Structure 1
Amino acid sequence: MSSPAVRRIPGAHIADPGPLGLAAFALTTFVLSCVNANIVSGAAESAVFGLALAYGGIAQFVAGLFEFAKGNTFGATAFCSYGAFWVAFWYLTGHTSPAPSGKGVGLFLLGFGIFTLYMTVATLRINGALLAVFALLTITFFLLAFGAMNGSTGLSKTGGWFGLATAIVAWYTSFAGVLASTFGKPVLPVFPLAGPTDPTDELT
């Protein structure tokens, strides 16, 4: 008599990469949003370039690769895409000559806004914390896109404030994942929604 098949959970031996990806996204978004919201001088935008490449870009992309290993399609798609976004931003805004036009930057941001919008729909089956992150990020992208296309400092500044809100919620969600791992149980609520959960993933 054969023994019953044992279901293997993909990537069960890998630590949850979600908190790293969210933290990298949050910090890079926070610094750039401080510039966009005019909290600091626009000259400070150069300070985000290193973050965009190393933390928001490379670290977040690596988190996405580990999400692939864990079988998490949403996490892999999100972190690899936004990691690539930050590397593209690093190149687009600091390493091109001549500098891209406002309409070019706006089109770049608009494309990521559309991507973020359909990823927001997917979060309806995950948890409320991620839903808030992606909903706020969608608004941020569209405000910044239309602000860049139309040369509207008002829209860009409002987008900066929404970006700050996005960063804060992303940090919260990352913190919840770190605490869940170190305490071995949920500590901060992420408000799970209707979808099935992956037992290897504290966030998604």
Structure 2
Amino acid sequence: MSDVSKIAEPTPVGLASFAICLFCVACVWAGFGGTGTAGVLIPLLFSVALVHFLVGTFCFLKVELFTAMAFYTYGFFLLSLAIMDLGKALNWFTTDDNTLLIFFISFTIFTVIMWLCTLVTETALIMAFTELVAVFVLLDLSIILQNSAFVKYAGYVGIFCSFNVFYICAGMILGAMYGRSVLPMGSAMYKPSNTTNY
């Protein structure tokens, strides 16, 4: 078995891909996309899902449970969106609002759980997951209230969330390159009572 201590930290790769994907998708939700968004978003969703699965695997090898769970689960989310968008584009199948709402609510619940986990990390990560919870809640409301304006609001919040994730990614990369902390990440709201890796 290879020495996992020799594996570079995979998290920045996952963060960068997630931030890029979220920024693009959120811009489309906010109404900034054109008529050919499917041609960009579908390949992007598939490729980022693949990156997330790879990053999640390396995080498991490095015993980083939180990051592995995050990248694997949101990888499944992005892959599901890609397949739904592809199926719609090729007229393979359609989705109904009730089932789509169940899909979004399930990921809303998971995101709330992950948000609770972030309270023992840094402020930047807490903010990113707070914004991500808001994105999913707004998507839920768009279906419950049958109001597409909430999708646009989700897009705006998603753009801010992507900037936050870009910031965390930049902090990790700059810290690795300069050998010191460059961008402040803030402190945790609660001090963990164990030493479990995340």
Q: Which moved more, 1:39-48 or 1:74-83?
A: 39-48
1:15-164 to 2 correspondences below 5 Å:
15-41=8-34, 43-55=36-48, 57-95=49-87, 97-164=92-159
SS of alignment partner, residue 16 of structure 1:
coil
Matched-pair contact (CA < 8 Å) for 1:35–1:45: no
Query: What is the CA–CA distance in structure 2 between the aligned matches of 1:48 and 1:19, rounded to whole Å?
Result: 21
Give CA-to-partner distance per residue, 1:44-88, whole Å, 9 cap, x none: 244211110012x01112111111011111011001111111111
- Cα drift, residue 192 of structure 1: 3.3
Q: Which runs of 5+ in 1 are unaligned?
A: 1-9
Query: What is the CA–CA distance in structure 2 between the aligned matches of 1:51 and 1:62, rounded to whole Å?
Result: 15
Q: Which moved more, 1:178-187 or 1:92-101?
A: 92-101
TM-score by length of 1: 0.86
Query: What is the CA–CA distance in structure 1 between the aligned matches of 2:20 and 2:178, rounded to whole Å?
Result: 24
**Count of aligned positions:** 191
Q: Which runs of 5+ in 2 are unaligned?
A: none
* Amino acid across the alignment from 1:110: I
Give CA-to-partner distance per residue, 1:153-200, whole Å, 9 cap, x none: 1111111111111111011111111111111111111113234897xx
Query: What is the CA–CA distance in structure 1 between the aligned matches of 2:160 and 2:17, rounded to whole Å?
Result: 15
Identical-pair percentage: 26
Which of 159, 168, 190 is matched with 2:185 structurally? 190
- Describe the shift of the 1:133–1:14 C-alpha distance in structure 2 as closer, same or farther (beyond 3 A): same
Q: CA RMSD in A?
A: 2.1
Q: Equivalent residue for 2:5?
A: 12
- Describe the shift of the 1:197–1:162 C-alpha distance in structure 2 as closer, same or farther (beyond 3 A): farther
TM-score by length of 2: 0.88
Query: What is the CA–CA distance in structure 1 between the aligned matches of 2:28 and 2:21, rounded to whole Å?
Result: 11
* Amino acid across the alignment from 1:34: C
* Amino acid across the alignment from 2:67: G
